[in-house]
Amino acid sequence: MAGWTQEKIDKLIASQRKFFREGKTLDVDFRIRQLKKLKKAVQDHEKEIAGALYADLGRSPTEAYLLDTGPVIAETNEMIRGVKKWARPEIHYSGMACFPSMVTRVFKMPYGVTLIISPFNFPFVLTLGVLAAAIAGGNTAVIRTSSKSPHSTALIRKILGEIYPEYYVALVEGGHDTAELLLERRFDKIFYTGSPRVGAHVMEKAARNLTPVALELGGETGNWCIVRKDADIRDAARKIAFFKIANSGQICININQTAVAEEVADSFLKALREEMIRQIGEEPLQNPEYPRLISKEAYDKCAAWADSCRDRIYWGGKGDPETLRFEPTVIYPADPWEAVASQELFAPLLPVVPYRDCEIDALLDLIGEREHGLSLYLFTKDLKWARKVMSSQQYGGGCINEVCLHFMVKGVPFGGVGHSGMGACHGKWGFMEFTHPSTVLTGASFGNLPLREHPYGGGRGDWKLPLLRLFER
């Protein structure tokens, strides 16, 4: 529906709130049926999804399935298999201080009417994957997709319209003004994926209604990758090349800057160039499988960054403003303090920062002083050191001797910290993000002791404090 007004949005939210209060979404079997509908719809529209992603981002059908369609199916499958167990109330022993009321339950309650705001770069998995968590949690959903990916938005509207009534799940299209209208309304939960700058704005708006918020952000100062001198250089180059090519670098968990030990910098650069050529060809701009940037604005920004480092471009550096493709571009040497190595680029640019391997601790201090990234990647044979770093640095998630695959692991959380986000999604963690744990103690009407009641002293109550010390431990 085009032309969303405040009145239409208010009417939509009211209809969802009315439907939620009817209690139908509390039924776990109902949720499973809705998840199965979503999964089947995605499978039925697989070719159309690939076509929409090609029209919006120039992605090939294989990359479309690898990074969007497949993860949505995997996510809904995990929800279908696990939601009955996750939604089951937990039973706890209340403790002797509560005697004789010894049974306490924790109910996993849905928030109610939720707002999902999704980005352009992975319009299906970051919309429908999050929706699966909202459905599993027993909520209704209002979805606002990015206006930058119109073909994907049109298809998402078609898919949702085929399987859900708007009083349950609705897509609200429009630009910035529509997003502002939504944020002015009261929702019971907001899940936003995008930039830290807009994330702060979403939180500010949500705070007016004390609405809980989950944020999936890219990280203000970028995601680091470290290649130590003992790393398998060919393996590191192969994986880093794949990652910078994927979706033309427009990935929130992508590497923004790679720190490479000086001792192996030359061999790494040579291997990286060879891998880029092997995977995407000598002329990436002529390869129909190579994705494009989302808009002219994004292309111009990428080209400007490359031009500012023109004298240090090791490989790549060319673009085509007509197709919005820009080559994977390696910049060497990059200074960790210069702008191109100090922020999220969201483009196929890779600043390579040389460092002395013996000064790795200083590099880690530099990274730690910056805003927390969404991801951290380490390449080294010293797994003991790598695990120590991963267990002491602040970041969302990451990999040792691998890139990006932590996002695809079932049963584990995905999310950021600080400027890279808050909250988590995927599987049970997504279910928990969209539910509130409500603790309920069932009281007994017989066998009650006057332990908690006055008097507390004066002879008649002197025995109470010693018992409380015994029970409340």
Q: Give the residue numbers annotated as catalytic, written as ranges.
A: 216, 252
CB 354 within 8 A of CB 265: yes
CB 325 within 8 A of CB 289: no
Which residues, 6+ apart, have CB-to-CB distance to 362 below 8 Å?
A: 355
Report which of 437, 139, 442, 398 is spatially closest to residue 243, judged by C-alpha positions.
398
399 token code pair: 């990999």
Cis peptide before 328 (omega within 30 of 0): no
73 token code pair: 């199916």
CA 31 – CA 21 distance, rounded (Å) = 15
- Distance, first Cα to last Cα, the chain: 58
φ/ψ of 90, rounded to 5, equals -85, 140
Other CB atoms within a 10 A radius of the CB of residue 194 amount to 22
Query: The tokens 């429009």 sit on which residue?
Result: 174
DSSP 1-19: --S--HHHHHHHHHHHHHH
Question: Greatest CA separation found in the chain?
Answer: 92
CB 214 within 8 A of CB 191: yes
CA 240 – CA 274 distance, rounded (Å) = 12
Cα separation values, 50 from 54, 143, 156, 249, 325, Å: 6, 21, 12, 18, 18
DSSP 360-401: HHHHHHHHHHSPPEEEEEEE-S-HHHHHHHHTTS-EEEEEES
Report which of 203, 197, 228, 253 is spatially closest to residue 67, judged by C-alpha positions.
253
Pairing between β-strand 435-442 and β-strand 103-110 as defined by DSSP bridges: antiparallel
Using left for φ > 0, alpha for ψ between -120 and 50, and beta otherwise, residue 402 falls in beta
Cα separation values, 443 from 101, 139, 452, Å: 5, 30, 14
